[in-house]
Amino acid sequence: MCARHLGTSQASCSFHLRQLAKYGFVELAEVSEDRRERPWRLVDVEQEWSAVDGGPAADQLDRVFIEREAERMQTWRTASANMPEPWRRAAFLGGLTVPVTVTVTELEQIRDQLMAVVSPYVARLDDPSSRPVDSRLVRLLLSAVPLTHLDDFATDPLRRRRPDA
């Protein structure tokens, strides 16, 4: 199934899946009666890396991650016209896109609180029986990054609102 999905050879998929397993990213999901089909699953859906500590490889991984997430959003935007109306209403691309002023500690708290909200839904990935009948897989992208091009705004966020500014 991997080879068909990716349009590559079965040997290539098998090799790369074994490499991912070697480093703990995936594992065999279950033993199949058909030895040609070997279902794999992610070991942990929450994968983290640090461009600060990871050097050039982590920096490149950041770039690829951002590009692929942008592609997923574009794919949804294109395909959404053919999706059921309730799903079009529920999906969103913008979210909260206004700047907020926070400390490092507050940003960490926001991250932890958002993860706490999402974690019950993530847990459903491991237990198909816990998924509602009408549910479908949805990609959530949570990000919070300092706006470096607005550093002067961060030091005086009300500057633009004051008449003397």
Q: Which residue in 137, 3, 144 sits closest to 72, CA to CA?
A: 137
- Is residue 86 helix, strand or coil? helix
Measured from the Cβ of residue 65, the count of other Cβ atoms closer than 10 Å reads 13
Find the mean pLDDT for residues 30-44.
73
Quick check: 90 pLDDT over 60? yes
List Cβ neighbours of 54 (8 Å cut-off, separation of 6 or more): 61
Residue 127, phi-psi category: left (phi > 0), alpha (psi -120 to 50), beta (remainder): beta
d(CA 19, CA 16): 5
Q: What is the pLDDT of residues 134-165, one digit of tens each?
A: 999 998 888 888 877 765 555 555 555 555 55
Nearest to 91 by CA among 83, 102, 101, 103: 83
